[in-house]
Amino acid sequence: MSVAVAARCGSLAAVEAALQSGNDVNGCVKGESIGLHIAIWRNDLRIIERLLAANACPDIQDTESGWTSLHRALYLGHLSAAALLLDAGAQLSIQDFKGRIPLDLLSASLKAYLLSGTASEVYSWGNGANYQLGTEAEGLQLTPNRLDSLHGTPIVALAAAKFHSAAVAKDGSLYTWGFGRGGRLGHPEFHIHSGESAVILPRLVALPGRRTVAAVATGKHHTVAVTRAGELFTWGSNRDGRLGYTAVDSQPTPRRVTSMRQRVMAVAAANRHTVVLAEGGTVYSWGSNLQGQLGYGTSDSASNAVPRIVEAMVGKTITAVAAAKRHTVVLTVEGDVYTWGHRVVTPKRVQLAGARDVARAANASGASAGGWEVVFHRGQSQVARPHAVAVCAGAAHSACLDQSGAVLAWRSADPRLHVQEVGGDLAGKRVVHIAAGKYRTATVTDEGDVYMWEGWSKPAELSAGRGCALSRVEGVKRVTHAAVGEKHSLALQSWCATPLALRMRSAPSGALSSALSGLLDRAASAVDSEGLPGPLEEMELAGGPASLQRLCERTVARHMVEPRSALALLQFADAAGAELLRQHCLAVSPNPLEHLLVYSISYTNAAGQ
């Protein structure tokens, strides 16, 4: 097997074997592609590093277009691969057959990231047997691939199930794709909801009256959407009454649930039941109740076809809901988690106290054991009794996310609900989003990385990071949200704004220099109208309340720093001695390679003019 063929297989072991057999590292496949070109196309960094270590030439041009490996990497937007090539001495001045240097092929999507920082992309990976990946791929897709059909459409929410996927755009448009038998896609054509053909690319769903969608949830055989006006629409299979109305076996297009009169704020869909969060924090459920997953206090009723309030949760303000095949999970405003199902017919509180790994939390806080007693000056209560801010439910595992960014998980079918903190590769990282499918759970860190685990791991294995196959998803960065289906996953990629640090060394006293005065004037209106939301409300520092300069730095950082302005504001921060603003600019600004690309583009444009 040649090196190029081994690279096409995507196996590092095969590449190593081909090299050990004495094959030419720069050998071609059918006179067209070399192994390094193929590895760049696959964005397989391990193989790229191995080939470069074996003296693969990064400047060899292909016979079709005259592209080098660097041409290909920048055209595809594979920045990490481009960095490896530049480190190996790849030339930026080589022209292809049309006279273009690598920087001329910088992908449009990458330019949008570098120059505006406002773009978003959707990626998918996993089993595409039902065309639920949205990339026209039907087989197994091991690495994340971009949904080109959604390129240029700002997506804000994703949902995934066994047979289909859904996405909500910023303007309220709803897209679905996959296998639509039974009407789960919401498209009116008979050949789609009869199962004769699949929708292989995202397609717009038409809601009555041109309504716009705020949230969507996908079950195995049905879909649920909430409009921006708080109306509830469902479609798909109505077995067990999961759609919330009677008289139909299936509904191929969106239909309003008229019996749900309260304004709906959030929704969750499972295989055979549906759960919604109404205005005021009340929970309604309907569908199959064989496992007590509706929370009615009994599992005698086989199904319930109309929304019914979960009376056991009356008096508690619910802020989030999640549902899986046999159970439901909800989150209260106090940070408590309740669950029911798996024959537990009434809501049961999940005991989060004591679930945190105290030793790990101490190390994360900078404490040193060294024979001394570990004392938490700040965040002690969060370790002793975590305050949950998000929940997810899967058939294998359920989990919650606490205020500190730790993930606490338990086996969904465990009657004791034994909770432990997920460790392994997540140790010391701050998670900002969680999602669960049938067997897999995904977490997104504040650095934009996705970590996943799957299987029926025990809590002890989760805590130690063993046995649960916890690993980072290679090939996608800057992720803000994820959705997990039964056999595939979706990720939303956009700019990740690193949270501002709450505790730093004191900055120099005094007002900001005149360099920031104009920026503060422009940000003042935002402060008056919006205040300082979220974690910025915690302003006590070691030396007392935050100074006026610190408040100004936080305001500018919150409302004005973005990738395209970070470098300019960084200069102002250095001149003014604004340490907090400086750190935030460094966190948000593009990496050094992107700096090189941006300046190269600017220089090229200036030279052309």
Write out pLDDT tens, residues 285-332.
999 998 889 998 876 667 888 999 999 999 999 999 999 999 999 999
Work out the mean pLDDT of the chain and round it to a whole number: 79
- Return the higher-pLDDT residue of 364 and 230: 230
Longest dimension (CA), the chain: 77
Burial of residue 147, with CB atoms counted within 10 A of its CB: 0-12 exposed, 13-18 middle, 19 or more buried: buried
Domain definitions of the chain by residue range: 3-105, 259-347, 514-594
pLDDT computed for residue 546 by the predictor: 59
Mean pLDDT on 460-464? 53
180: confidence class by pLDDT, cuts 50, 70, 90: very high
454: confidence class by pLDDT, cuts 50, 70, 90: confident
pLDDT computed for residue 580 by the predictor: 82
495 DSSP β-pair partners: none
pLDDT computed for residue 468 by the predictor: 57
pLDDT computed for residue 192 by the predictor: 93
Mean pLDDT on 569-587? 80
In this predicted structure, which of 81-90, 183-192, 540-549 has the lowest mean pLDDT?
Answer: 540-549
Residue pointed to by tokens 């002690």: 380
In this predicted structure, which of 53-57, 217-221, 558-562 has the lowest mean pLDDT?
Answer: 558-562
> Measured between alpha carbons, how far is residue 439 from residues 162, 248, 406, 468, 504 in Å?
11, 31, 20, 11, 40
Do 253 and 186 contact (CB within 8 A), yes or no? yes
β-strands 431-436, 264-269 pairing: unpaired
Instruction: Report CA torsion sign: 49, 51, 56, 57.
Output: negative
Distance CA 428, CA 20 (A): 39
Amino acid at 380: Q
Task: Tell me how far the alpha carbon of residue 210 is from its chain's centroid.
Answer: 28
- Return the higher-pLDDT residue of 374 and 211: 211
Distance CA 417, CA 398 (A): 10
Angle, helix 12-20 to helix 45-53, in steps of 10 degrees: 20
Distance CA 271, CA 287 (A): 9
Do 447 and 428 contact (CB within 8 A), yes or no? no
Burial pattern 72-104, b for ≥16 Cβ within 10 A else e, equals bbbbbbbbbbbbbbbebebeeebebeeebbbbe
Q: What three-state secondary structure class fits 305?
A: strand
- Quick one: tokens of 509? 């006293």
Distance CA 570, CA 238 (A): 56
441: confidence class by pLDDT, cuts 50, 70, 90: very high
- Quick one: tokens of 199? 């929708």
Under CATH, what is the fold of the domain 3-105? 1.25.40
Residue pointed to by tokens 């900002």: 432
> Measured between alpha carbons, how far is residue 167 from residues 478, 492, 573 in Å?
18, 10, 39
pLDDT tens digit sequence for 223-277: 999 999 999 999 999 999 999 999 899 999 999 999 999 999 999 999 999 999 9
| Portion of the chain with pLDDT greater than 70, in percent | 77
> Measured between alpha carbons, how far is residue 333 from residues 315, 324, 388, 401 in Å?
11, 22, 9, 14
Q: Residue 436: count other Cβ atoms within 10 Å of its Cβ.
A: 26
Predicted TM-score of the model (pTM): 0.63
- Return the higher-pLDDT residue of 509 and 13: 13
Burial of residue 416, with CB atoms counted within 10 A of its CB: 0-12 exposed, 13-18 middle, 19 or more buried: exposed
367: confidence class by pLDDT, cuts 50, 70, 90: very low
Do 547 and 580 contact (CB within 8 A), yes or no? no
pLDDT computed for residue 463 by the predictor: 53
Distance CA 563, CA 566 (A): 5
Instruction: Report CA torsion sign: 325, 326, 327, 328.
Output: positive
Please report the DSSP string for 90-153 in residue order. Answer: --S----TTS--GGGG--HHHHHHHHT----EEEEEEE-TTSTTSSS--SEEEEEEE-GGGTTS
pLDDT tens digit sequence for 483-527: 999 999 999 987 544 343 333 333 333 333 333 344 334 333 333
Mean pLDDT on 142-149? 91
Distance CA 497, CA 565 (A): 13
* Closest C-alpha to 269, from 308, 298, 331, 226: 226
* Closest C-alpha to 164, from 206, 140, 190, 129: 129
Distance CA 188, CA 178 (A): 14
Amino acid at 266: A
Do 259 and 266 contact (CB within 8 A), yes or no? no
CATH of segment(s) 259-347 = 2.40.10
Residue pointed to by tokens 């060294």: 370
pLDDT computed for residue 167 by the predictor: 96
Q: What three-state secondary structure class fits 191?
A: helix
pLDDT computed for residue 574 by the predictor: 79
> Measured between alpha carbons, how far is residue 506 from residues 493, 519, 542, 545, 580 in Å?
35, 22, 9, 11, 9
pLDDT tens digit sequence for 521-576: 433 333 333 333 333 333 333 344 557 777 788 888 877 777 667 777 887 887 77
Do 292 and 345 contact (CB within 8 A), yes or no? yes
Q: Residue 191: count other Cβ atoms within 10 Å of its Cβ.
A: 11
Is 370 a residue whose pLDDT tops 80?
no
Distance CA 272, CA 292 (A): 12
**Would you give the end-to-end CA distance of the chain in angstroms?**
50
Q: What three-state secondary structure class fits 42?
A: helix
In this predicted structure, which of 366-380, 408-422, 428-442, 482-496 has the lowest mean pLDDT?
Answer: 366-380
Is 431 a residue whose pLDDT tops 70?
yes
Do 442 and 434 contact (CB within 8 A), yes or no? yes
